[in-house]
Amino acid sequence: MKTAVEELSPTRVRLTVEVPFEELETSMQAAYKKVAQQVRVPGFRPGKVPARIIEQRFGRAVVLEETLNEALPKLYGQAVDESDVFPVSQPEIEVTKIDDGKEVEFTAEVDVRPSFDVPDYSGIEVTVPSAEVTDDDIDTQIDALRQRFATLTGVERPAATGDYVVMDLTATIDGRNIEEQQASDVSYEVGAGSVLQGLDDSLVGMAAGDEKTFTTTLVGGENAGEEADVTIHVKSVKEKVLPELDDEFAGLASEFDTLEELRESLRGQARRNKLIDQVVQARENAVTALLDQIDIPLPESALTAEVDARKHNLEHQIGESGLSREAYFRLYQTTEEERFAEFETNARKAIKTGFVLDKIVKQEELGVNEQELTEFVVRRAAQLGVAPNTLAQHLADNDQLTLAMVEIVREKAKTVVGDSAKITDEAGADVDLKAIYAELNPEQEGAAPPPEPTVQPAQ
């Protein structure tokens, strides 16, 4: 087999592949068997029709067509491997020559990863947040814990922002009750930001037994987008009472006996979280700084596919929310146009990042061993709340293990770039990632930890 590569653009090539007929022998025999199963010839059982009878009765063209259908995908893959191109789209294949018994020629046009060089990334200068833990950091976490253990106490006064009310809601359009918009005994925090515009403003100042009607645009159901009169009937008002900040609270909220022990534990957690954040930010910022030094043309098909995938996910999220499109975007304080523009920007960066990281993976000869794949599955399963065996089976059944390995080696490439960077924190102090690795993993000194999400205080 002989392959020639013609560059149509920096992101698209045409492969011209010449295949001697003898290399099609295996596919041709398979084609005869398949055709023999499909045709019916008197005097022969299905699947037992000889090749010469098939050609006499149905023509050799039928066999050649089936041969090429079976052989071309494999021949294309072989041509790609031999040509050192990296396809990023499905090929457009055309058979251009069939010289029966001698040679077959076909072309394949396909979008490819463009050629580019990765500049030296050692010494890239990046800045990360400080890892210093302040008393304010601890106070914030303590406050979050107090919020979790707060109690609600009934009050004989009008509701204010932060109070909880129990209320009934009814909605009418032109005096007609909208059944699906009726709700009883709804518990709601005033000021929480309801998608029902006007609700929070109306609740402020209402006391138990009060009733008020306001006009708003419905955000869900059959009447989404229509104006309706919504009537609120407040049944009770409760205020949130935080527990006293003492040793008793420490025992209630944790396994510690004293408030001081709880604060020290939170300080240690905060320190670890900030160190992890420094590692993550160092890697991400170093890769971003590297990307800024490289200009790569992006294949249009890859960009379109990436943007379309993000739009599809958005449509699914809107459908699952039960909200109208207008209400959904209002809830997230954006517009459809702004979200689509964001998709375009993020898709471009994601594709470019993948190209660069894949190049580093090849340069650094990075790979994945069985233990790393197992650890990845265990971490991802914990994030998704499923059993590791269940996730592993899902990945295997859906041919996603290769994608998992790509994700692992790309994270390794990020680590290589991050470890090569010159890192300082926002206060100007040098940051030593190896020292951080040792502090985070004292039992494996010097080993880079896998990427972890920064843990936020409980809300």
Share of the chain above pLDDT 90, in %: 71
Q: How confident is the model at residue 457 (pLDDT cuts 50, 70, 90)?
A: very low
Q: 44-58, 108-122, 183-197: lowest mean pLDDT where?
A: 44-58
Q: How confident is the model at residue 170 (pLDDT cuts 50, 70, 90)?
A: very high
Residue 253 has pLDDT above 60, yes or no: yes
How far apart (Å, rounded) are the C-alpha atoms in residues 327 and 224? 9
Residue 181 has pLDDT above 50, yes or no: yes
Report, at the CATH architecture level, how domain 151-241 is classified: Roll (3.10)
Instruction: Please state, rounded to an integer, the average pLDDT across all residues of the chain.
Output: 89
Q: pLDDT (tens digit, 9 = 90+) per residue, 391-444?
A: 999 999 888 999 999 999 999 999 999 999 999 999 999 999 999 999 998 876
Q: pLDDT (tens digit, 9 = 90+) per residue, 200-244?
A: 999 999 999 999 999 998 877 788 888 999 999 999 999 999 999
**Helices 433-440 & 259-291 angle (0-180, nearest 10):** 140
Q: How far is CA 334 from CA 93, 308, 321, 330, 341, in A?
A: 43, 19, 16, 6, 11
Write down the pLDDT at residue 331: 79
Question: How many other CB atoms sit within 10 Å of the CB of residue 311?
Answer: 14
Q: pLDDT (tens digit, 9 = 90+) per residue, 91-148?
A: 999 999 988 888 999 999 999 999 999 999 999 999 999 999 999 999 999 999 999 9
Round the CA-based radius of gyration of the chain to a whole number and report it. Answer: 32
Question: How many other CB atoms sit within 10 Å of the CB of residue 444?
Answer: 11
SS (H, E, C) 273-314: HHHHHHHHHHHHHHHHHHHCCCCCCCCHHHHHHHHHHHHHHH
- Class for domain 259-444, per CATH? mainly alpha
Q: How confident is the model at residue 445 (pLDDT cuts 50, 70, 90)?
A: low
- Class for domain 2-111, per CATH? alpha beta
How far apart (Å, rounded) are the C-alpha atoms in residues 379 and 394? 15
Residue found under tokens 């000194």:
445
Q: How far is CA 135 from CA 89, 139, 267, in A?
A: 53, 6, 9
How far apart (Å, rounded) are the C-alpha atoms in residues 10 and 24? 32
Residue 63 has pLDDT above 80, yes or no: no
The Cα angle at residue 277 between residues 275 and 280, in degrees rounded to 5: 115
Question: How many other CB atoms sit within 10 Å of the CB of residue 180?
Answer: 11
Write down the pLDDT at residue 52: 65
- Report, as an integer, the average pLDDT of 242-258: 94
CB neighbours of 201 closer than 8 A, spacing ≥ 6?
214
The Cα angle at residue 420 between residues 417 and 421, in degrees rounded to 5: 90
Q: How confident is the model at residue 261 (pLDDT cuts 50, 70, 90)?
A: very high
Write down the pLDDT at residue 58: 66
Residue found under tokens 């100007």:
428
Write down the pLDDT at residue 231: 95
Highest mean pLDDT out of 27-36, 60-69, 304-313: 304-313
279, with CB counted inside 10 A (0-12, 13-18, 19+), is buried
SS (H, E, C) the chain: CEEEEEEEECCEEEEEEEEEHHHHHHHHHHHHHHHHHHCCCCCCCCCCCCHHHHHHHHCHHHHHHHHHHHHHHHHHHHHHHHHCCCECCCCEEEEEEEECCCEEEEEEEEEECCCCCCCCCCCCEEEECCCCCCHHHHHHHHHHHHHHCCEEEECCCCCCCCCEEEEEEEEEECCEECHHHCEEEEEEECCCCCCCCCHHHHHCCCCCCCEEEEEEECCECCCCCCEEEEEEEEEEEEEEECCCCCHHHHHHHCCCCCHHHHHHHHHHHHHHHHHHHHHHHHHHHHHHHHHCCCCCCCCHHHHHHHHHHHHHHHHHHHHHHCECHHHHHHHCCCCHHHHHHHHHHHHHHHHHHHHHHHHHHHHHCCCCCHHHHHHHHHHHHHHHCCCHHHHHHHHHHCCCHHHHHHHHHHHHHHHHHHHHCEEEECCCCECCHHHHHHHHCHHHCCCCCCCCCCCCCCC
Write down the pLDDT at residue 210: 96
Q: How confident is the model at residue 341 (pLDDT cuts 50, 70, 90)?
A: very high
Residue found under tokens 């008002």:
237
- Report, as an integer, the average pLDDT of 65-94: 90
The structural domains of the chain, with segments of one domain joined by +, span: 2-111, 151-241, 259-444
